[in-house]
Structure formats: structure tokens, C-alpha cells
Amino acid sequence: MKSNLHNGASRILFENARKLRGSETHAEQVLWGYLKTKSLGYKFRRQHPYGIYILDFYCHKLKLVIEVDGSVHDKKEVKQLDDERQKLLESDGLTILRFTNDEVLTKLDTVISVIEQKIRYQMKETNEVTTQPSLSPSGGGGVCRAMIFAAGLGTRFKPWTDKHPKALAVINGKSLLQRNIEYLQGFGITDVVVNVHHFADQIVQAVTANKGWGSNVVISDETDVVLETGGGLLKARHLIGNDTFVSINSDILTDMDLSKMIAYHQEHKPLITIATTNRSTSRYFLFDENNRLCGWRNAKTGEEKISIRKPGLKEKAYSTVAIFEPQVFDLIPFAGKFSLVDVYLALAPEHLILGYDHSGDKLLDVGKPESVPVAESLFL
């Protein structure tokens, strides 16, 4: 077999590969979320036609194939076909790594470590030199990646959440999740990570059935234990990659011009920018005259958490939209279950965290059933 990019793959095989990209398994989606970031400087292709086969993932420069196998591959006859396929590919100079769906979904860190070790070995074998992507404070251009938090129990949204995740609550014919995915699309953000816990299977089914509503959606699985927003973000690190990214809660609806917030973030170069308004609430972030985050206050109880002590701090309500530089993952001082609020307050003394005021824009927390008619009047 002559070793080239597609090795004479037929037109029919290309069509089949295209269809497979729209029906990937959950495990394939999770692994693709990591591979597509080119975190080691190499491009991988998914469902790649090669000769008479379709490869799950393929890096042509390193001639490295990664296969993710479901339980059907445990059958004796399928194993024999896999062995024959592997020998043929190896005879063409390709290297094959195989993982099971379960390994990808439950031991992702280990899977990624194995891949990274293999890539480093292949680099030595091919005398390749690569550079890590820059982690510049400004994000290096436009933002194209986001995380939507959809793992919460939705206890305030009963009885809907007795049988469904809140993220799939419907507002004028569209779920909250769909609305936020389409909101992000309006600003060119089409790579989206969604974390799941409560009725996780329903969210996965909705994303799959609707093909991500036009976006590349990958799932961060928290079915074992819900990790809150901070823990959920940290768990999704390998899916988010090394780019500047946005986060938003699935139960928040807004018409804020996100491009203006991104421009503000890129101009001022903070570690994190958090969206705020002047609306009344029970809990506020506290900012100085330069919009730097300095603390937090519970207006009902009087409790305060001060990160930077200054006079005359301004109260602002958090919109649960934020922009992060990827360095944040190395700075988070917590593990397990924790809130993003804890992260902001812990990092604020040593790192610039700014507020972005978008007062006047539509913003609604669809936190209770009585919020639905209000949402339907505001968001058609």
C-alpha cells in the first residue's frame, strides 16, 4: 500500500466517513474534544478515509491512528477482523493505539497520557520538532470555544426536574440548552463543552438527535458526582483545550453583545472577565473604581468575603457569563466539588479579574417554573 493521506480511498468511503462524523459515539466525541485542540502541535482528523478503511482518528504527519472501540469489538469474529486490519495498516507504516469506550469515558486522563507519550515517541522517530500553542494573556484573537454548565439538579425548578434536566426546559419551542448554543453561534462560537449529571442521558440524546444544533458539542460526564461550576470546569480541562474560552450557565438567557465583552477582555488582558449588571439581587460581587474584583457580599446576611481590601467598593450582580484565559486551569487551588465564585475570590488578590457591566441588556435566570412565562415574553 502506498502511504499517502487517503491511500486511494473511494468516493463512497468518503461519503460514509462524512455520515459517521454526524453519528459519533459519546466516547468518540469526548476524545475528539481533546485531539482537535492540537495541544501537542499536531493535527488529527476524525473518521478519516484511508484505503478501504475509515479510521476513528488519524494524524498523517506522525502516521498515528487512534481507535475507540465499543463492546462489539469484544466478539471473537470482530477481534479477528480488527487484527487483520491492524496488520495491514501497520504494514503501511502506521501506528495504531486502541482504547475502549469505557477507558475514554472513565479514565480520560490516563488515555490522554498514553496518547501524549506515543506522540512524543513518534516525534523522536520522525525527528519532528513541535511547539506548544501560545497561552497568551490576550487569547491570541477571536474566541471560538465555550462551556455550558448543565449538570445541576435544578431543585428550584420542580416538578420539571423530577423527570428531566433543567437544561431541556422549553422556552417558546426551544430548550434552554439549544438557546444558549444558538446564542454562542451568533458570535462565532461553535465548539461547545456541556457538562451533565442530572438525567444526563436525556441531554446526550438531545444533543445527538439534533446534531448539536449546528455546533460541535462534546459532553463532560459528571454522572458519578456533580462537581458544581468550578469543579465541572476543572474536570472539562482536556475538552476545552488551550484557548481563551467563554462559560455560561444553561439556565441563563441574555441578549448581551458577547463580542463587546470579548473585545473588552482582549483590550484589558485579565485572567478572567465576568459579566455583571446593576440589577438587585441577594448576593453581589464587589469591584473597585477600575472594575477589578475585590470581594463578595451577601446582602441578606451581611456576610462578606474580601479578597482585596479597599474603600468604596461597588456592588454588581453576576450574570454567570465569564471569559477565561487557559492559564486559569493551572492556578485553581481547589479539587473536587467547588464553585467558580470560590475560584474568582481565591485568585483575585494575585491575578487580574475584571467585571464587564452590561446593564440594560436582557438577562433572566430561568431558575423557577414561574420564570418560564417571563422568559417567553422576553425571548421569542
Q: State the SS3 of 231-291.
A: HHHHHCHHHHCCCCEEEEECCEEECCCHHHHHHHHHHHCCCEEEEEECCCCCEEEEECCCC
For residues 229 and 224, give the distance between their C-alpha atoms in angstroms, rounded to a whole number. 15
pLDDT at 123: 66
What does pTM read for this prediction?
0.65
Kind of pairing between the strands at 216-221 and 191-196: parallel
pLDDT at 125: 56
pLDDT at 122: 65
What one-character DSSP code corresponds to residue 39?
A: T
Residue pair 111/103 in contact (Cβ under 8 Å)? The answer is: yes
Cell numbers for 64: 498515528
pLDDT at 42: 83
Residue with cell 480541562: 237
pLDDT at 116: 78
Cell numbers for 298: 451577601
Class of CATH domain 11-126: alpha beta
C-alpha pair distances (Å), 117 with each of 44, 121, 249: 16, 6, 35
pLDDT at 306: 97
Cell numbers for 369: 417554573
User: Is it true that 11-126 and 145-378 share their CATH fold?
Assistant: no
Phi first, then psi, for residue 207 (nearest 5°) are -60, -45
Residue pair 84/5 in contact (Cβ under 8 Å)? The answer is: no
Mean pLDDT, 10 residues at a time, the chain of 380 residues:
71 89 89 79 89 93 91 84 89 89 86 76 55 32 85 88 93 96 92 94 92 92 93 94 94 94 93 97 97 97 96 97 97 96 98 97 92 92
What one-character DSSP code corresponds to residue 12?
A: H
pLDDT at 6: 86
Residue with cell 465583552: 261
Helices within 150-227 (DSSP H only): 176-185, 200-209
Q: Where do the structural domains in the chain lie, given as residue ranges?
A: 11-126, 145-378
Class of CATH domain 145-378: alpha beta
Residue 322 has, within 13 A of its CA and on its CB side, a CA count of: 27
